[in-house]
Chains A and B, each alone.
Chain A
Amino acid sequence: MSATARDRAASRAAAAEAQPSPPAPGIDLIPRRPLLQRQVDAWIELAPGDRPLVSAGDSVVPGTPLAEHLRDARLVETVVGSGGLRPGDRWRGDAAAANRKRGHPPEGELLFESGGRWWVVAGEHSEPIESPVSGIVREVRPGLGIALRAGGAALEGALSLGGLARGRLELATSADGELLPRALDVGAAGAILVVGARIDAESLTRARAMGVRGVIVASLASKDRRDHLASESRQHAALHRLPSFGVLVLHGSVRRPISVRAMALLEALAGREVAIIGNPPALVFDPEGLDLPPDAPDVVHVRSGPLAGQSGQWVGLAGLRRFPGATHLEAGFVRFGDGPPVALPLADLERLT
């Protein structure tokens, strides 16, 4: 064998050693899910009476007003010239004294026409709905919503509460931590806080009051969700408008830590400007410059059960096994760190791509 051939053989051997060995059989039964969405189509809901300020094809940047939300929408019955008007069209009231006397607002949106009269949604107080992301408006449907293709990538959550939000990302706790109300002060104003495993409604209310723009949390209990929504509802009813505040719940309702991969991403995003959108519930950010190495092929993540949030190495199928609760489930062995393999239900596992 020549020296060149020997070199080639050696380099092939070295390359083979560098290749990770294929994962043990059975890993194809673990569902795969992308950690990040590379195409983000956000839907910003509008109600009848809200006035869109953008059109399909418009480019928007963070802070661009997308629409005016009518805060005190009410119905007005009026006679309007019928020339080609359609539901959803804007209506501007005339300056007739009779109308002003009846307390008619100056403008609104046509709802429906019956018996020669139009019902109009109108009000006097509005607030802007600003884009939290840069992107392109794809569709505007008065009374329904605005479809926006956001630039960047997104980490999807389980649900989102509140409004659209934008701010710099700050880590307030570890992945399994919990933020208490007294830990919040005005120093966090303008930030979107990562608050660990759970947060209660009191802390959410205080965060909002301190000027925090949003919260990212692993889980939010139904009671805290209800209480927060009630608090938000009272805020909206007040005339004094506060900045939009968003809550992104990453994993669900039952307490658990933020998953390892999600937390690694959030740590990498710390200090950057990010946005929370509600539909789909997601954290949107610019992935430029982020170094997020993919998982090794045999890495699996625990998405539910007592070990939820942890990552381990796939060892192989364990067959049908009996678990606590006298339940028999298809299982697989997973090794966490240097410990012995643990049998877990396959359905509690996932792979992130």
Chain B
Amino acid sequence: MTRDPRAFFALDLGAATTSAALIGRVSDHWRLLGSLSFPSEVPLVAVLARLVERFAAADPEIAMALGVGPAAASWPRLTVHSVPPAGLAVVAVSERALGALADVAALTGWRVIAGSAERLDPLSMTKMLLEQDVTAVLVGAGEPPGADERGGLGDLAALAAAVATRRPELTIILAGAMADQAPRFETRPAQGPGAVILGPAAAAGIPPGAALRATLEGLRGLADDARRSFARATATLAEALDRRVEGIDIGIDGGVRVVASPRAGQEPAMTAAAVVADAALAPPDPDEEVVDGVVGWSTLPADRHRMRDRLRELRRLPWGDATGEGAPFRLSAARAALERLVAATPDLDALPPADLLVIAGGAWAVAPGPAIALAAADVIRRPGVTQIVFDHARLLAPLGTIEDHDERRLVLADLAGDLLAPLGTVVMPQGMRGGRNAGRLVVHGATGSSEVDLMPGGIELVDLPPGESAVAEFEFRDPVRLGTRGKRFAVDVAGGLGGLIVDLRDVPLRLPDRAERRRELLAAWQEALWAGVSG
């Protein structure tokens, strides 16, 4: 699709944001020629017209060569959509069985509500399944069923079958031993809304849960799903760059985390991904845990009620009130969402650390690059050296829709330099003793060397512009962990908008319990990378 034309649009049509990018063939390479983002209510035709107009004004020569004009409206489009997650009700006989099912379901992009017959009476459970937001019901049991489940399988299946009779549009998934109860359900279509699907047990597959995850992800539908496409593009990017890549996308309705490794020797390429609705920037009805998370990262003095009000406003108008206090508030909400995403995906933490961390999604739309890098470093506490980049034009997901693998790889290899804005390199040692000078850093760059004393508990910033690279030599007084354990390290670092960020804070990060002190500390770190944010 991208081979013949001279230019095409890459469109990420999200629930909150419409992002449009113009890609053109220049000197035998695909280049990003321009991009714009607007609230999703703005008509796409107006966004594209503005994008083309700006590009033509900025570079009339290339515009003419590409044939910019009325024909631009008919240029091919790579389009992805992201829609609010549909509701999945998960029910089981026992709390034990429910936990396993709900844990798997939470990683598949559904908005999950769950209840067991052990905790809910049949009337409460029926009400839960009849909720308007619920579009599918996962009724599960172990395979074989546990002793705590056997007695209740029939009653639970009968309840679910009765709900299905009232709401024939519900998709029912009978997982594990619950599949034996299928005859209780009226005849329904084999697929699509209203189908009864026999699914694997929660623990089935390698790794455990993989089989049920595949079933639930498949049911989520939407052929041009932005999150699925983001995962595919991240995997291709890892191949194209021959680096381990971690991709993180936080949007208004959910978060995606992808870890991808290219093939290395006998080791095949690997991709692991999770889509977590609970990692939304602004969940529809923020509970105490969500509000506490945002309060914990906030640099603004706001009580929990006021923070909940702000989260609700953010949900209602994701682009509204983004100035003044609204700007750091968004980044606090983004950190909290990222924290929920990381907490929901411990299996991905266990994989080898990535060389390149790609940050994406509308959550970061109003923050400057260096502040985004800091937010990522605040939450993802992994000792080592990581280059952080930002998918600033929201290109990865649309490029993931290119069906042909080789073509996708070629386009991504061509565009990698344009689509990934370098935010900087984070160096994060672990195991330093607090309270005294921990050592020294010498950065050997193209224009000379600079020295920095390493003070535990803080952040040291070394100016290293985008496009530059350097060698950073660390000499610690005591052994620390930085990939391996030792006192002396020499690492290659790449520049970025935030330069080299030497993060000497605790791993994991420990913040003061006193709210005022915590806010001051967070604000001080943030101010160093986001000048004028509090002014």
Partner of A28 from B43, B154, B366 at Cβ < 8 Å: B43
Shortest CB-to-CB span from B160 to chain A, Å, is: 9
Is A336 part of the contact surface with B, judged by Cβ < 8 Å?
A: no
CB contact under 8 A between A325 and B313, given known A73-B123, A87-B165, A121-B123: no
Tell me if B165 and A86 are in contact (CB < 8 A).
Answer: yes
A253 lies within 8 A of chain B by Cβ: yes
* Assembled-state Cα–Cα distance A329/B39 (Å): 12
Please give, as numbers and ranges, the residues of chain A lying within 8 Å of B162 by CB-CB distance: 87, 111-113
Known pairs A141-B166, A325-B533; A111 contacts B123 (CB<8 A): yes
Tell me the B297-317 residues at the A interface (CB within 8 Å): 305-306, 308-310, 312-313, 316-317
CB neighbours (8 Å) of B310 from chain A are: 253-254
Q: Which residues of A contact B50 (CB under 8 A)?
A: 26, 29
Known contacts: A48-B123, A327-B327, A330-B38. The answer to whether A253 contacts B313 by CB under 8 A is yes
CB within 8 Å of B: which of A95-115?
Answer: 111-115
A144 touching B305, Cβ below 8 Å = no
Answer whether residue A154 sits at the interface, using C-beta atoms and an 8 A cutoff: no
Type the 1/0 row for A10-51, where 1 means its CB is closer than 8 Å to any CB of B.
000000000000000010111111000000000101011100
Given contacts A47-B127, A112-B159, A144-B167, are A253 and B312 in contact (CB under 8 A)?
yes
CB closest residue in chain A, given B368: A326
Judge whether B320 and A325 touch: CB under 8 Å. Answer: no
Stretch of A160-168, A174-182, A284-292, A344-352 at the chain-chain interface: A344-352
| Complex Cα spacing A73 to B121, Å | 12
Residues on A with C-beta less than 8 A from B312 are 222, 252-253
Which residues 10-69 in B have Cβ within 8 Å of A in the complex?
A: 36, 38-39, 41-43, 46-47, 49-50
> Which chain B residues lie closer than 8 Å to A151 at the CB level?
none
Distance in angstroms from A186 CB to nearest chain B CB is 31
What is the 8 Å Cβ interface bit string for chain B, positions 147-174, against chain A (1 contact, 0 not)?
0000000110011011101110000000
A174 to chain B, nearest CB (A): 22
Which residue, of A221, A252, A347, A348, has the highest number of chain B Cβ atoms within 10 A?
A347
Chain B residue nearest to A73 in the complex (CB): B123
Considering the chains assembled together, what is the distance between the CA atoms of A29 and B36 in angstroms? 12
Q: How many residue pairs between the two chains, A and B, have CB atoms under 8 Å in the bound complex? A: 152
Assess the B39–A88 pair: CB atoms within 8 A.
no
Name the A residues within 8 Å of B127 (CB-CB): 47-48
Is A75's CB under 8 angstroms from B123's CB?
yes
Interface string of A314-346 (1 = CB under 8 A from B): 000000000111111110000000000000011
Interface size class for chain A? 35 or more
Q: Are A143 and B166 in contact (CB-based, < 8 A)?
A: yes
Interface centre among A141, A222, A325 (most CB of B within 10 A): A325
**Given contact pairs A112-B158, A323-B324, A253 touches B122 in the complex (Cβ within 8 A):** no
Give CA–CA (A95, B430) in the complex, Å.
76
Is A64 in the interface zone, CB < 8 Å from B?
no
Q: Which of B276-312 contact A (CB under 8 A)?
A: 305-306, 308-310, 312
From B122, B313, B323, A254 is in contact (CB under 8 Å) with B313
Interface residue from B36, B313, B324, B326 paired with A252 (Cβ < 8 Å): B313
How far does the alpha carbon of A326 sit from the alpha carbon of B127 in the complex, in Å? 47
Count residues on chain B whose CB falls below 8 Å from chain A CBs.
54
| B530: interface (CB < 8 Å) | yes
Closest Cβ of chain A to B299, distance in Å, is 11
Task: Fill in one digit per residue for B117-145: 1 if any A CB lies within 8 Å of its CB, else 0.
Answer: 00001110011001010000000000000
Most-contacted residue by chain B among A114, A142, A303, A346 (CB, 10 A): A114
Instruction: Indicate if B70 sits at the interface (CB-CB under 8 A).
Output: no
Is A254 a contact of B309 with CB atoms below 8 Å?
yes
Residue A119 CB within 8 A of the other chain = yes
With a cutoff of 8 Å between Cβ atoms, the chain B residues found around residue A26 in the complex are 50
State whether A304 touches B123 (Cβ < 8 A): no
A222 and B308: CB pair below 8 A? yes
Report the Cα distance A324→B322, complex, angstroms: 9
The residue that B326 contacts in the complex, of A143, A325, A328, A330, with Cβ under 8 A, is A325
- Tell me the nearest residue of chain A to B365, going by C-beta: A329
A260 shortest CB reach to chain B, Å: 17
Q: Does A223 contact B (CB under 8 A)?
A: yes
**Least Cβ distance of A141 to chain B in Å?**
7
Q: Does the CB pair A347–B322 fall under 8 Å? A: yes
A158 at the interface (CB under 8 A from B): yes
Q: Counting CB contacts under 8 A, is A305 at the interface?
A: yes
Compute how far the CA of A26 lies from the CA of B159 in the bound complex, rounded to whole angstroms. 56
Contacts of A29 in B (CB 8 A): 38, 42, 46-47, 50
Q: Are B322 and A329 closer than 8 Å at their CB atoms?
A: yes
- Tell me the complex Cα distance, A43–B310, Å: 28
Given known A-B contacts A87-B166, A252-B312, A112 and B323 have beta carbons under 8 A apart:
no
CB atoms of B323 and A329 under 8 A apart: yes
Asked whether A304 and B154 contact (CB < 8 A) given A222-B308, A325-B533, A327-B322, the answer is: no
Q: Which residues of B contact A45 (CB under 8 A)?
A: 132
A121: B residues at CB distance < 8 A: 123
Q: Across the two chains, which residue of chain B brings its CB closest to A344? A: B323
The answer to whether A326 and B123 touch across the interface, beta carbons within 8 angstroms, is no
CA distance A26 to B42 in the complex (A): 11
Chain B residues within an 8 Å CB radius of A222:
305, 308-309, 312
B533 close to A48 (CB less than 8 A): no
Indicate whether A28 sits within 8 Å of B46 (C-beta atoms), given known contacts A112-B158, A324-B535: yes
Query: In the complex, what residues of A have CB within 8 A of residue B530's CB?
Result: 326
Chain A 143-158 near chain B by CB (<8 Å), digits 1 or 0:
1110000000000001
B184 CB → nearest A CB, Å:
9
Question: Given the complex, which residues of A lie within 8 Å of B326, measured CB to CB?
Answer: 305, 325, 327
Is B347 in contact with chain A by the CB < 8 A criterion?
no
Give me 26 A-to-B residue pairs in the complex whose CB atoms sit less than 8 angstroms apart, sorted by A's number. A29-B46, A31-B41, A47-B127, A48-B123, A49-B123, A114-B155, A114-B159, A144-B130, A145-B132, A221-B309, A252-B316, A252-B317, A253-B308, A253-B310, A254-B309, A304-B317, A306-B324, A324-B535, A327-B322, A329-B322, A329-B323, A330-B36, A330-B38, A347-B319, A347-B322, A348-B320
Q: Which 8 A-B pairs have the closest CB atoms?
A: A304-B320, A325-B327, A112-B162, A31-B41, A347-B319, A326-B532, A87-B162, A253-B309
